[in-house]
Structure 1
């Protein structure tokens, strides 16, 4: 008879009554790191609002130069509707952005 070597592998047994160990979580950022992220986002938001405001002003000037009206009511309503996705204060933010360009 040929004897084959059998490799024994140590496998931990699962105990159904013992919870599995929690996976190691990455540490949450500290308050200073979160503050820095917020400052960076605020900076980006300010730049975007300034760009949007300038673009809206140029668009209004172009409309007038082409014989149209400065503002198109349907377009402004569409802006307000888009900002609804941000929740109850979203439409107010949309209106504020529109007002900034006037």
Structure 2
């Protein structure tokens, strides 16, 4: 997925307009529009501000390690799904840590 699509999809999922995102990120609506349409080059500082406004992170991954990193990301995302699907009998069951004598 390209940066333009990611920014647009995340912004829309947060329910905010380009103008609101621009205001939160300290840039202009036309810059956000250009980024989302793939027509504007974005500086790293601007990208970090946009990500902060969207409650997202910028992660730079060297191409040589992409396979290993992708599997780590997939595992992490699947872990979140597994955690949501596991049932907890009670708060006590979730927090119970047995003593070493048990």
TM-score, normalised to structure 1, is 0.27
Q: Which has the larger radius of gyration?
A: 1
TM-score, normalised to structure 2, is 0.27
